[in-house]
Amino acid sequence: MKARDARATTTGLLLIGATAASLVATALQGSLLDGPGFLATVALHQNRLLTTALFQLLAAFTSTAIAVTLYPVLRQHAAGMALGAVAFRIIEGVFYALSAAATLILVSLSDQLTAGASANASADLVRDLRDSASCVGILAFYTGATLYYLVFYRSQLIPRWLSAWGLAGTALGLAAGLLVLYRSTAAMSGTQLALNLPIAAQELVLAVWLIIKGFRPEATPASTMTSRSTRASVTPS
């Protein structure tokens, strides 16, 4: 039970860390990469963009760590979904790290701005790569999160209203990610931010819940439920 409580607390802290890192990275980036002449802006704010990359890497690490920390608990209820959540959140972390690497490359390119149009053309390509990597990472996050919220809902490790909120939030987030992927809306647009707000709020509430309350002790592992069901089916009436 102590190990389980420790995992709940660790997960809560990681949720706060991942959310905070993502928000700080988004705020620091701001509009630095907007517009056709953005490389000149990057040259003037290199330290700010380097710090953005640092927080992107922190978000990549904590996002993956969430699913890894949850896995020993969730696999008792749905091993396949628990493993899938880990896989997708590892994919998320990899693409977030790729996005951070692209951010660092943009800073390097800004040093070569005097080289002329070739530097700007390369910067446009790297920015597109960065945006694409971020989009794939976001889609992987919502897929992985959907899997562990489904396990939460079925197992009642946390209250079902909190799991349902998470599922609704991931559905909206997936919709936002697909809108960006198909260029129906721009990355970091008002539409995307609005559709991401529910899951951001939910994960903070979940974090506080796990730190204070932990996982529900009465949640029944899948193996136990299957065993009970089997015994009931063979018991004569």
Q: What is the mean pLDDT of the chain?
A: 90
Residue 179: other Cβ atoms inside 10 A: 17
Place 115 in a pLDDT band, splitting at 50, 70 and 90: low
pLDDT > 50? residue 232: no
Per-residue tokens: 233: 């089916």
What are the residues whose beta carbons fall under 8 Å from the beta carbon of 102, sequence distance 6 or more? 126, 127, 129, 130, 133
Across the range 62-74, mean pLDDT stands at 96
pLDDT score recorded for residue 25 = 96
Place 187 in a pLDDT band, splitting at 50, 70 and 90: confident
pLDDT score recorded for residue 230 = 45
Least confident of 40-49, 106-115, 170-179: 106-115
CB 98 within 8 A of CB 57: no
Across the range 96-124, mean pLDDT stands at 85
Place 3 in a pLDDT band, splitting at 50, 70 and 90: confident
pLDDT score recorded for residue 117 = 58
pLDDT > 60? residue 16: yes
Phi, psi of 198 (to 5 degrees): -60, -45
DSSP code string of 81-124: HHHHHHHHHHHHHHHHHHHHHHHHHHHHHHHTGGG-HHHHHHHH
pLDDT score recorded for residue 226 = 47
Residue 124: other Cβ atoms inside 10 A: 14
Place 186 in a pLDDT band, splitting at 50, 70 and 90: confident
pLDDT > 80? residue 2: no
User: Which runs of consecutive H residues, i.e. helices, occur in the chain?
Assistant: 2-29, 38-44, 46-111, 117-155, 160-181, 190-212, 222-234
pTM listed for this prediction: 0.87
Tell me which residue of 90, 110, 134, 91 sits closest to 48, measured CA to CA. 110
Across the range 172-201, mean pLDDT stands at 93
What are the residues whose beta carbons fall under 8 Å from the beta carbon of 3, sequence distance 6 or more? none
Q: At what angle do helices 222-234 and 46-111 cross, to 10 degrees?
A: 100
More reliable by pLDDT, 221 or 70: 70
